[in-house]
Amino acid sequence: MKRWGPYMMKQPMVWLLAALALSPLVAAESLYVHSAKASLLAAPKFNADILVSVEKGAELVLIEQQKRWFLVQFDDQTGWVSSLLVKSEPPLDKVSVIGSDAVEITGQTRSRASEVSTAGATRGLTESDASTDDGVSDYNELVEMEAISVPGEEIIEFADAIVRENGE
C-alpha cells in the first residue's frame, strides 16, 4: 500500500498549490484613501470607466503596482486607483500649529540647554522670535498670509466651473 505522505510530497502540483495558497499571506498590503473621494477605474488610464467611488480613510488591498497606478481590491471590487490619492498609512487628522499655545521663552540666554525641555519649548518659534533672529523675517505678513482660508463648501462651489467645462 502506498504511503500517503511521501507520495503526496512527490507531486509537483501539491507544492504549486501550496505555494499559491500561501502567496496571499506573502503579498497582502493595505492602502488607505487620503483624498475626500477616490475612484476605482477599470483600467490604469484617466479615461477609463469608473467602477466605484470610495471615501477618505477606506482601506484598499494592494494587488499590483504600475508606475503611478495601483490595482486594488475594495470589498469585492477590483479596480485601478491613482497613487496620488492613497498612501500606506491611514490619514491623519489636520495638524495645526498656528494660534496654538505660543509660549514666550524669556531669559533664554541664561538657561542651559538641558533645562529648556518642556513641551512648551517645542513650540518655541513665535512672532517674538523675530527679535532674536537676525532681523530679516516678516512675521506680520506671514500671519496675514495664514489668515486667508477657504471654507470647504466654497471649494465645492468653486469646482463647479471646472466640472462644467469637463462635461462639454
CB 71 within 8 A of CB 45: no
CB of 8 to another protein, least distance (A): 12
Q: Name the residue nearer to another protein (CB basis): 76 or 141.
A: 141
CB of 163 to another protein, least distance (A): 6
Q: Name the residue nearer to another protein (CB basis): 77 or 118.
A: 118
| Rounded Cα gap, residues 40 and 53, in angstroms | 6
CB of 1 to another protein, least distance (A): 23
Q: Which cell numbers in the block locate residue 26?
A: 506573502
Q: Which cell numbers in the block locate residue 144?
A: 496675514
Q: Name the residue nearer to another protein (CB basis): 59 or 154.
A: 154
| Rounded Cα gap, residues 111 and 114, in angstroms | 8
Could you tell me which residues are beta bridge partners of residue 64? 71
